[in-house]
Every structure is written in structure tokens, then in C-alpha cells.
């Protein structure tokens, strides 16, 4: 997983980079907030960022606010890394949009735990976004049977968006979870098969066979 590290202090930057790489992360390293924003706004930018609060130009809090102001982008999990330790500073950092806050000098195991927590959140949000897209596709699939369908007034075939005509049952099976079996209504039975009950018994047998075949295939 990629992690953005924005830190202007060389020693701290080098140490955190080595830790992250040792934990298996791919690290994008920048020295200021403006460069951090440039990388995070890219379509393939990291979704986890560790930002030093005090940086030239845009500081870590500024970057947090800019990230949260753009709700259309993928979620970025932000950890603020700073020497500021007062409670009001923690509140300011979190209210700016940071997800977590760790003070310098930091404990390596604590930093590792917080980064892993951020990774879990990013992965969960990514999985949720995929499920939402799948749901949208399913809803669009359902809507295809709710709009205006061109149907032939004689043979009852349905025309799709590519102007191809399909049998009614074929179209519905392809655009829903329904499956068809064949039977006769009372009117058609009397009209086309006036010989009576034996024909209906045969049709009921075919209907049952169709149902069993559908159950076996499921």
C-alpha cells in the first residue's frame, strides 16, 4: 500500500520513511504541503497520508482542510504528525479533518499501530465503494424492466437498445432473475385443445419437468 509522507525536517523525514518501508509500505516523500496536495489529488494518489503540522507554505492542517473540502475525491486517511501536544492543538487538528494525531517524539510501535488502523479504514472504504457500485449496476439492471419497452403488437417480441428483437420470455430472463415454464391458461386450453383434461395433465407434467430442471440448474 502507498503512503504519502509530508515532512520538512530531514532527520524526521528519513526516519519515518525507513520505518514505513520496513513495514512494507511504498512511500511517496514530499517536503511541503503544496506538493502533498498535488500528489493526493491525482487519480492514482495514495489514500493514506502522514502530514507534519509545521511545513512551509501549506501546513498539515491546511492540507487536511483542502482534502476534506473536496468530497468528490476518494477518501484519504490523514495522520497528523507534530510536536504540538496541547489539548487545544489536538482539537484543532482533528477538527481540520485529520483522522488521527500523533506527537513527536513518537513511539515506533504506536506509529505502526496507527498506520495499520488507517490502512484498515482505507481498505474498508474501498470495499464499501465497490459494493455501492455493484448495487448501482444492479439497480440499473432492474430499471431496464421499468421503462418503456418497444414490443411488437403481433408476435410480442421486445426490441432492445441495439434494435435487436427478442422473444418476450428471453428478454425478461436476461434482464431479471425470472425463469419461465410453459403452461396454458383456461381460455387457450379450451380454444386450442378442446379434447379436455388429458391435454392439461400432459402440460402440467411438462411444467413440472421445467421447474425441476430450473431447480437443478440453480
Domain for residue 179, yes or no? yes
- Residue 186, pLDDT above cutoff 60: yes
Could you tell me if 17 and 115 lie in one domain? yes
User: Cα dist. 154→82, 94, 182 in Å?
Assistant: 76, 67, 20
Could you tell me if 90 and 188 lie in one domain? no
Pairing of strands 48-52, 77-82: parallel
Instruction: Select from 106, 139, 172 the last residue of a domain.
Output: 139
**Secondary structure E strands in 69-175:** 77-82, 100-103, 158-159, 165-166
pLDDT reported for residue 115:
96
The pLDDT mean for the chain works out to 84
Domain count, the chain: 2
pTM: 0.62
Of the candidates 52, 50, 81, 78, the residue with the CA atom closest to the CA atom of residue 64:
78
- At 15, which CATH number? 3.40.50.2300
Instruction: Select from 139, 167, 190 the last residue of a domain.
Output: 139
Per-residue b or e along 130-161, where b marks 16 or more CB atoms closer than 10 Å to that residue's CB: eeeeeeeeeeeeeeeeeeeeeeeeeeeebeee
Domain for residue 95, yes or no? yes
Q: Give the integer Cα–Cα distance in Å for 143 and 134.
A: 14
pLDDT reported for residue 102:
92
Q: Give the integer Cα–Cα distance in Å for 139 and 60.
A: 40
Could you tell me if 122 and 15 lie in one domain? yes
Could you tell me if 194 and 109 lie in one domain? no
Domain for residue 133, yes or no? yes
pLDDT reported for residue 179:
80
Among 77-91, 105-119, 172-186, which stretch is predicted with the lowest mean pLDDT?
Answer: 172-186
Could you tell me if 93 and 188 lie in one domain? no
Q: Give the integer Cα–Cα distance in Å for 197 and 210.
A: 20
Could you tell me if 69 and 111 lie in one domain? yes
Domain for residue 103, yes or no? yes
**Tens digit of each residue's pLDDT (9 = 90 or more) over 35-46:** 999 999 888 899
**Tens digit of each residue's pLDDT (9 = 90 or more) over 143-168:** 555 667 788 888 888 888 888 998 88
> Hey, which of 8-12, 137-141, 143-147, 198-202 has the most confident mean pLDDT?
8-12
Domain for residue 185, yes or no? yes
The pLDDT confidence band at residue 210, using thresholds 50, 70 and 90, is low
Name the residue with cell 385443445. 193
Average pLDDT over residues 68-80: 86
Could you tell me if 178 and 124 lie in one domain? no
* Residue range(s) defining the domain that contains residue 182: 158-217
Among 11-20, 107-116, 176-185, which stretch is predicted with the lowest mean pLDDT?
Answer: 176-185
Amino acid at each position: 500500500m502507498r503512503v504519502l509522507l509530508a515532512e520538512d525536517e530531514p532527520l524526521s523525514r528519513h526516519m519515518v520513511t525507513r520505518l514505513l518501508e520496513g513495514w512494507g509500505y511504498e512511500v511517496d516523500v514530499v517536503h511541503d504541503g503544496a506538493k502533498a496536495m498535488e500528489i493526493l489529488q491525482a487519480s492514482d494518489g495514495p489514500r493514506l497520508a502522514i502530514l507534519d503540522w509545521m511545513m512551509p507554505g501549506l501546513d498539515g492542517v491546511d492540507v487536511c482542510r483542502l482534502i476534506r473540502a473536496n468530497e468528490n475525491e476518494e477518501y484519504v486517511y490523514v495522520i497528523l504528525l507534530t510536536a504540538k501536544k496541547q489539548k487545544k492543538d489536538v482539537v484543532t487538528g482533528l477538527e481540520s479533518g485529520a483522522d488521527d494525531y500523533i506527537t513527536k517524539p513518537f513511539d515506533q510501535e504506536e506509529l505502526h499501530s496507527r498506520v495499520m488502523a488507517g490502512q484498515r479504514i482505507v481498505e474498508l472504504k474501498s470495499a464499501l465503494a465497490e459494493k455501492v457500485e455493484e448495487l448501482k449496476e444492479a439497480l440499473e439492471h432492474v430499471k431496464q424492466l421499468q421503462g418503456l419497452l418497444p414490443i411488437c403488437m403481433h408476435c410480442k417480441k421486445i426490441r432492445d437498445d441495439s434494435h435487436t428483437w427478442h422473444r418476450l420470455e428471453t428478454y425478461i430472463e436476461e434482464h431479471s432473475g425470472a425463469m419461465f415454464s410453459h403452461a396454458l391458461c383456461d381460455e387457450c386450453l379450451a380454444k386450442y385443445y378442446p379434447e379436455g383434461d388429458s391435454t392439461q395433465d400432459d402440460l402440467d407434467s411438462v411444467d413440472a419437468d421445467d421447474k425441476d430442471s430450473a431447480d437443478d440448474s440453480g
